[in-house]
Structure 1
Amino acid sequence: MSRSSKRRKMTEGQAAKTAKDEMSKEIQFPNPPTAPATDDDRRKWQGWCEIESEPAFFNSILNKWGVKGTRVQEVLCLDDETLNGLPKPIHGIIFLFRFCDLDEEQEEQEVSNQVWFANQRVQNACASVALLNLVMNIPNVELGKHISRFKDSTKDMSPTERGRAVAEFAFVRQAHNSWARKSDMLYQDLAFKNEFDKAKRYRNRGTKARNNKKKKPEEDDTNGFHFIAFMPASGEIWRMDGMEKQPQKFGSYSDDSWVTQVAAVMQERMALFANEGIQFNVLAMTKDPLLIAQERLAENIKSLAALEARLDEVQPGWRHFVADGRDQSPIQQQQSLTPKSMSDRGIGGDSGEPRTNGTHSVTNGTAVTAPEPSYPLIGPEPAYGIDSFLIDKACVLTRACHILENDPNLEPSTLLQLHQNLVIDQARLRSAYEAEERSQRDEEERADGRTWDYGPLVREWVRYLAEAEDPDTRRSVLETLIKESEIESP
């Protein structure tokens, strides 16, 4: 080899080493291993952390992806009453179980193009893979900009190619690792290193040793837990397991009967391990309960608006007769409307149009206070996410529609009684919306609290206690640190 060739080869080698060193600097943690993980640590880390079977984490992932209109909740029991009580429609079921190869013989051999399906190509990504395999097949769900583009770019790929694309999709990985603590990251890195070293030792044994000595594979009693998904699509029930080559279909369905069939399959799987004390977990992906509450409230608002328009035609000035006193709450005001009280006030009777006096109406010498103008809602309300588009899309409630369309000569008292019922219903719907909104906000805070890393605090405890010489000092240090931890923790 000539001197110039050697020099060129050395230069290429140095360049490769420099590039490798720069890459190592880019992905290494910028802070000490004992320090809590930062957002920058999570962004640069190339691994995938384990995800607990907690709906808060799954919903947070969906939110970070930009997926809207669907939500995950835990299913505590697989009986009919519990399943029927889930929000409808139920888009899919996520099942957490101890991974095993019981279904290997049942695997489909042909590639199916009826559903979007990706294999799991990296360890611990099963939660995100299960979510993707569900949301990619739910009709009329808003996927968000990044996931929509990913779906379009992978539509012609095989499950293996999609799995590789998921593994390389930093947007999905970073959302998956949102709650990773430094200890989680270091543990996964160590586990990966141990697997790599084990594989390296196996390769170094030599071809002859491997060919001449056949060893029975060791049974692995430490198989990890694994998420798979079930869902209805194209008239079939599908099992989406990223560890299998293809999605598996195991029956047809009608309406919500698919959930009952899937529940039977999961119960059968649970029964196989009933004596081993293995825990299972079931999550349901349903329509977002907050969206359901919005739609029901929009239907109520549209019905009230239609009813009030009819009342304006048949009984002008009716609004002055729907309350008894300024000191009543809106619900109490509406509950005061009974057919008798309305008849006493001349509504729907022969007394004619009531006389008005400023903000009061006068009927038979009795002044009646008008209701608060902000109550009830009869139009868009940002506080409840209700806009004009949602109201226009809503349907007038069946009972209101029947009365308004089929009986044009209704007495005002009947219309006002229906108005009272709708207002009471609206108060209940608004309370349900507010309760669900609080629940989702609390869930987000619980998910965010998962990032709190107690490792540095525990190490400080141990260090201070080790440095303390007498028991009183140790006790004082411990009490102080406990107080500080209560202040610092979320």
Structure 2
Amino acid sequence: MSEGDEQSGWQLTESDPGVFTELLKSLGVPLVVDDLYSLDPASLAELQPVHAFIFLFKWVGSSSEPAGGNYDPDFPGFFAHQVVNNACATLAVMNAIGNIPGLPMGAQLTDLINFTTGMDAQTRGMVLTSSDWLREAHNALSPPSAISLDGLGLPKTSEDAYHFIVYMPYMSCVYEFDGLKHSPINHGAYSESGEGWVAKAREVIEARIATYPAGALEFSLLALHEDPLPILQAQLAELQAAGMQSEAADLVVRLSTENSKRERWAFENSLRRHNYVGLVHALLVALAKSGRLEAATENAKKTMRERVERSKEKGDNNMDET
């Protein structure tokens, strides 16, 4: 991340369903996000209706031509460019929810989207990333950055950069929204029968994954879908009222699983918000009192030197975070 990007105030975001779901909640959007480990129909069945797939991949530079599909410079929907680093997660979410007809959303988000109506993608991206409240919502689950590594003489290289994009249906076609591309990419029409747009999106995503080496783990996939809790709770109430206890028991299990997942997300998000500087300070004090701080410091320096040397040997490239 360059100095200019630090000044922009947008922090890195994890590819985690709990983080994305919390972001959607803060935007007043009643959708949730789940990890996907397979695109087969059985894996997607309990997530329906799925509104979009959020794809995370290792960014190695943009080609002027799309890997598949065709640019649609006249796209009539919502599309914003990513104009600052580290904002790609929220930009991907915005490009998705901005193209879901009739989606409920909070008043601030509604006003922001309405304000950008008619703007070109570059201007819209500038407006979004200039929004203080949207940036604060994005940063809410980023770890506190209270420790600076400036002045330590570390090499000015960054970790591998990863980038979020979206695949979703729009006007009977599957579109790809990549904030680093000049226009949305149209991957063609899909059949309304069977799985609908998901079948077409599966082909596109699997073709993209096939370009990675066998066994590569440089990507992940998330599903943006309806929150199942209200539906499951309503179904459970109906079954219990009808005295169908056996069927109700199955729903109780599913509800328990969903609630456990939300509790885990809440716990993990609380850890992300926590500032561990106090804990680190206490550990350093304890090491000093026990006479082990100097040895631990030298060992840490040695480990860092070894990491720097390995990085130099691999010839890591300078790369900004996206």
Which amino acid is the alignment partner of residue 111 of structure 1? D
Counterpart of 2:164 (choices 207, 227, 232) is 227
**1:59 Cα offset (Å):** 0.3
**1:253 Cα offset (Å):** 1.2
Distance change in 2, residues 1:184/1:99 (3 Å): farther
Question: Residue 236 of structure 1 contacts residue 251 of structure 1 at CA under 8 Å; is this kept in 2?
Answer: yes
- Is it true that 1:73 corresponds to 2:34 in the alignment? yes
- Is it true that 1:87 corresponds to 2:47 in the alignment? yes
Question: Residue 146 of structure 2 contacts residue 277 of structure 2 at CA under 8 Å; is this kept in 1?
Answer: no
Structure 2 counterpart of 1:381: none
Structure 1 counterpart of 2:143: 181
Counterpart of 2:102 (choices 140, 147, 151) is 140
Tell me whether 100-109 or 87-96 shows the greater mean CA deviation.
100-109
**Alpha-carbon distance in structure 2 between the residues aligned to 1:185 and 1:162:** 33
Q: Deviations over 1:376-423 (max 9, x none)?
A: 44xxxxxxxxxxxxxxxxxxxxxxxxxxxxxxxxxxxxxxxxx54x34
Question: Residue 119 of structure 1 contacts residue 160 of structure 1 at CA under 8 Å; is this kept in 2?
Answer: yes
Counterpart of 1:251 (choices 188, 191, 195) is 188
Structure 2 counterpart of 1:96: 56
Counterpart of 2:173 (choices 232, 236, 239) is 236
- Is it true that 1:54 corresponds to 2:16 in the alignment? yes
Question: Residue 74 of structure 1 contacts residue 282 of structure 1 at CA under 8 Å; is this kept in 2?
Answer: yes
Distance change in 2, residues 1:186/1:167 (3 Å): farther
CA RMSD of aligned residues (A): 3.0
**1:46 Cα offset (Å):** 4.5
**Alpha-carbon distance in structure 1 between the residues aligned to 2:230 and 2:169:** 21
Within 5 Å, give how 1:69-468 maps onto structure 2: 70-83=31-44, 85-101=45-61, 103-106=63-66, 108=71, 110-113=73-76, 115-183=77-145, 186=148, 223-255=160-192, 256-274=195-213, 277-297=216-236, 300=238, 376-377=240-241, 419-420=242-243, 422-468=244-290
Q: TM-score, normalised by structure 2?
A: 0.76
**1:158 Cα offset (Å):** 1.0
**Alpha-carbon distance in structure 2 between the residues aligned to 1:143 and 1:87:** 20
**Alpha-carbon distance in structure 1 between the residues aligned to 2:47 and 2:288:** 54
**Alpha-carbon distance in structure 2 between the residues aligned to 1:185 and 1:177:** 17
Tell which has more relative contact order, 1 or 2 (C-alpha 8 A, sep 6+): 2
Higher Cα radius of gyration: 1
Which amino acid is the alignment partner of residue 246 of structure 1? S
SS in 1 for 2:275: coil
**Alpha-carbon distance in structure 2 between the residues aligned to 1:457 and 1:173:** 28
Question: Residue 49 of structure 1 contacts residue 184 of structure 1 at CA under 8 Å; is this kept in 2?
Answer: no
**Alpha-carbon distance in structure 1 between the residues aligned to 2:247 and 2:92:** 38
**Alpha-carbon distance in structure 2 between the residues aligned to 1:282 and 1:158:** 28
**Alpha-carbon distance in structure 2 between the residues aligned to 1:87 and 1:184:** 38
**1:66 Cα offset (Å):** 1.2
Question: Residue 73 of structure 2 contacts residue 184 of structure 2 at CA under 8 Å; is this kept in 1?
Answer: no
Structure 2 counterpart of 1:35: none
Question: Residue 136 of structure 1 contacts residue 151 of structure 1 at CA under 8 Å; is this kept in 2?
Answer: yes
**Alpha-carbon distance in structure 2 between the residues aligned to 1:185 and 1:462:** 14
**Alpha-carbon distance in structure 2 between the residues aligned to 1:221 and 1:72:** 28
Structure 2 counterpart of 1:42: none
Runs of 4+ in 1 over 6 A off after TM superposition: none
Which amino acid is the alignment partner of residue 90 of structure 2? S
Distance change in 2, residues 1:251/1:457 (3 Å): same
**1:275 Cα offset (Å):** 5.5
**Alpha-carbon distance in structure 1 between the residues aligned to 2:79 and 2:209:** 25
Q: Deviations over 1:110-144 (max 9, x none)?
A: 2311x211111111111100111111111232111
Question: Residue 144 of structure 2 contacts residue 274 of structure 2 at CA under 8 Å; is this kept in 1?
Answer: no
Distance change in 2, residues 1:265/1:100 (3 Å): farther
Structure 2 counterpart of 1:320: none
**Alpha-carbon distance in structure 2 between the residues aligned to 1:470 and 1:182:** 27
Q: Which runs of 5+ in 2 are unaligned?
A: 1-6, 297-322
Distance change in 2, residues 1:222/1:427 (3 Å): closer
**Alpha-carbon distance in structure 1 between the residues aligned to 2:282 and 2:223:** 41
**1:269 Cα offset (Å):** 2.4
Distance change in 2, residues 1:464/1:178 (3 Å): same
**1:440 Cα offset (Å):** 1.7
SS in 2 for 1:231: strand
Matched residue count: 279
SS in 2 for 1:139: coil
**1:469 Cα offset (Å):** 4.2
Q: Deviations over 1:424-450 (max 9, x none)?
A: 434543553344234323322221221
Structure 2 counterpart of 1:386: none
Q: Deviations over 1:15-70 (max 9, x none)?
A: xxxxxxxxxxxxxxxxxxxxxxxxxxxxxx851111111100000101111111x1
Question: Residue 72 of structure 2 contacts residue 184 of structure 2 at CA under 8 Å; is this kept in 1?
Answer: no
**1:289 Cα offset (Å):** 1.1
Q: Which runs of 5+ in 1 are unaligned?
A: 1-44, 199-219, 302-375, 378-418, 475-490
Tell me whether 451-460 or 243-252 shows the greater mean CA deviation.
451-460
**Alpha-carbon distance in structure 1 between the residues aligned to 2:147 and 2:187:** 38
Distance change in 2, residues 1:275/1:222 (3 Å): farther
**Alpha-carbon distance in structure 2 between the residues aligned to 1:79 and 1:462:** 50
